[in-house]
């Protein structure tokens, strides 16, 4: 591939004219993947620590508050 005695010179590799489009697409894809991973890491622990409270036990909650009132830790509103 080097210089020859016949004066051919060094051959260069020619890239396709679409290489810039492919490189930009790859960069955009990597950025979107990074954003997705970051969002997943941020939201996953929050969902585990603060689960939806749709099935709370109202009887237990009332008993808990009543127990705090009996101990003098809390006051019932309106009394």
Domain range annotation of the chain: 14-50
pLDDT for 23-55, tens place per residue?
A: 999 999 999 999 999 998 888 776 666 555 555
Question: Residues with Cβ < 8 Å from 76, sequence gap 6 or more?
Answer: 65, 69
pTM for the full predicted model: 0.42
What is the rounded distance in angstroms from the CA atom of residue 42 to the CA atom of residue 57? 29
Mean pLDDT along residues 14-24: 86
Q: What is the average pLDDT score of the chain?
A: 77
Find the range with the poorest average confidence among 8-12, 25-29, 34-38, 59-63. Answer: 59-63
What is the rounded distance in angstroms from the CA atom of residue 20 to the CA atom of residue 22? 5
What is the rounded distance in angstroms from the CA atom of residue 58 to the CA atom of residue 66? 12
What is the rounded distance in angstroms from the CA atom of residue 69 to the CA atom of residue 10? 91
């Amino acid at each position: 591939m080097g210089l020859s005695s016949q004066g051919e010179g060094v051959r260069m590799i020619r890239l396709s004219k679409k290489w810039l489009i492919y490189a930009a697409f790859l960069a955009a894809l990597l950025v979107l993947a990074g954003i997705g991973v970051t969002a997943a890491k941020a939201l996953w622990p929050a969902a585990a620590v603060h689960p939806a409270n749709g099935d709370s036990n109202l009887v237990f909650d009332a008993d808990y508050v009543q127990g705090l009132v009996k101990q003098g830790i809390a006051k019932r509103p309106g009394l």
